[in-house]
Chains A and B, each alone.
Chain A
Amino acid sequence: QVQLQESGPGLVKPSQTLSLTCTVSGGSISRGDYFWSWIRQHPGKDLEWIGYIHYSGSAYYKSSLKSRLTISLDTSKNQFSLNLSSVTAADTAVYYCARGTPSPYGADWGWFDPWGQGTLVTVSS
């Protein structure tokens, strides 16, 4: 079955760029109508959807993060990546990558399954 695995630095300095990669195994990132997503969980345990990319290359971001966020796709490596610039302590969280599945009604009615194991990113000098 499809599995996802996040990788990247666990510590990022304030004002720098947070970069993470999600490697997908057990299935092609280019098949199906999935939306490959990033979700983060803050220390207080709140979950926050960040954004997604479709295999066509189109990306969609949470509006409050749009100016700092880029999600990209590398189909040759079966990976997708997140870059979040100008980070602050508020960006400290466990970052998960997840496969979004659209319902027959459309993507907006969709859910996330499976999820990667998550990676903790701390923003600190």
Chain B
Amino acid sequence: QSVLTQPPSVSGAPGQRVTISCTGSGSNIGAGYHVHWYQQLPGTAPKLLIYGNNNRPSGVPDRFSGSKSGTSASLAITGLQAEDEADYYCQSYDTTLSGWVFGGGTKLTVL
């Protein structure tokens, strides 16, 4: 059971917008810690997609955006493309566990 809760799967047609939620608690996201997002394409390592709640590293398309409110965060992907099909993970810090924690991952299927 992951400390951060994500939906197991989401799907959308090419060109559509999808969102992936990441729900935490008062000891992690709700405590003010930043949320970061990673994209893991099949057979590869996770790659940083969003850092500091809503910042994109160089090279990440602006179709990807992040937001945070209260004890939750969201990743939004607009203009869905076939190449976006991957697993997505959120990450934050937890004061109770005294360490970094990840969500269980969400598999995005592009229909």
Q: Flag whether A76 is at the interface (Cβ < 8 A).
A: no
Kindly supply a per-residue 1/0 record for chain A positions 19-55, scoring 1 wherever the CB is within 8 Å of any chain B CB and 0 otherwise: 0000000000000000000000000011111000000
- Closest Cβ of chain B: how far from A23's Cβ, in Å? 15
Kindly supply a per-residue 1/0 record for chain B positions 94-108, scoring 1 wherever the CB is within 8 Å of any chain A CB and 0 otherwise: 000111111011000
CB pair A48–B102 under 8 Å, yes or no, is yes
Q: How large is the interface on B (under 10, 10 to 19, 20 to 34, 35 or more residues)?
A: 20 to 34
CB pair A117–B93 under 8 Å, yes or no, is no
Q: How large is the interface on A (under 10, 10 to 19, 20 to 34, 35 or more residues)?
A: 20 to 34
Interface residue from B33, B45, B47 paired with A108 (Cβ < 8 Å): B33
**Complex CA distance for A40 and B45, rounded to whole angstroms:** 11
CB pair A111–B51 under 8 Å, yes or no, is yes
CB contacts under 8 Å to A, within B57-110, are: 57, 87, 89, 91, 93, 97-102, 104-105
CB pair B45–A45 under 8 Å, yes or no, is no
Interface residue from A62, A100, A115 paired with B46 (Cβ < 8 Å): A115
Contacts of A48 in B (CB 8 A): 102
Contacts of A111 in B (CB 8 A): 34, 36, 48, 51-52, 91
Kindly supply a per-residue 1/0 record for chain B positions 36-51, scoring 1 wherever the CB is within 8 Å of any chain A CB and 0 otherwise: 1010000011111001
Interface residue from A46, A62, A109, A115 paired with B45 (Cβ < 8 Å): A115
Interface residue from A47, A116, A117 paired with B89 (Cβ < 8 Å): A47
CB pair A113–B48 under 8 Å, yes or no, is yes
Residue of B nearest to A52 (CB): B100
CB pair A103–B48 under 8 Å, yes or no, is no
- Listed from nearest, the 3 A-B pairs whose CB atoms lie closest are A113-B48, A47-B102, A111-B36
List residues of chain B with CB under 8 Å of any chain A CB: 2, 33-34, 36, 38, 44-48, 51-52, 57, 87, 89, 91, 93, 97-102, 104-105
